[in-house]
Amino acid sequence: MTSFPAAARRVRDEQEPLRRRLWALRECALRFGPYGFRATWHHLIVRNGIPEHLGADPHSLVRAVDELGEARDLWLPQLIVYERRRRVEKAMRRVPDPADLPRLGLYCPDPEVHPGERLSVVIGRVIERWRTGAEFCAGCAGPHVPVGICPTCGVCEDPRRLKRAYLPAGHRQDAEERWKAIWQRRLPPPRRPR
């Protein structure tokens, strides 16, 4: 197991073979995947144009890790503030309110349907919403969808309430094949939110 910064250094290291750099990017997405691993991976592939044959654009890996790192750098200070506050609360034996937890709330159950903006823009909206208590979808700034999936951007704020049966039968059947194509960067035609 490596840390996000160590994996990010390996992605940027031009002496490393491209395949290892890709695996290091995967490690970064596992460490910080705001949409969930699969949707975050799809976002990085599409937004940064990572080709099936990495030699065609090796710099796309650096663009992807830079985007992911920029979003992570926005989110880490929020976690540090929460951890400090939580230490004080534990000393007073206070049980935290679930609403106080700094959750991203950006899980996208369909890896092909997620916000298209840069991750740092979306994370900025999450932070704004968390600080102000405003009611809007952090994924697209549209109307707040407390339960279920945002019809505009595909974000599910609380995946614990989401039932697996939300997907139509045809979608469930080919989900694994589609994921395999995404992983191999042979992107299928984009899917729109339901």
- 118-135 pLDDT, tens digit each: 999 999 998 888 788 788
- Do the Cβ atoms of 149 and 133 come closer than 8 Å? no
pLDDT in tens, 19-36: 999 999 999 999 999 999
Residue type, 92: M
* pLDDT digit string, tens, across residues 61-99: 999 999 999 999 999 998 888 888 888 888 888 777 666
pTM for the full predicted model: 0.84
Domain parsing of the chain, residue ranges: 4-183
Residue 42 dihedral angles phi and psi, to the nearest 5°: -60, -45
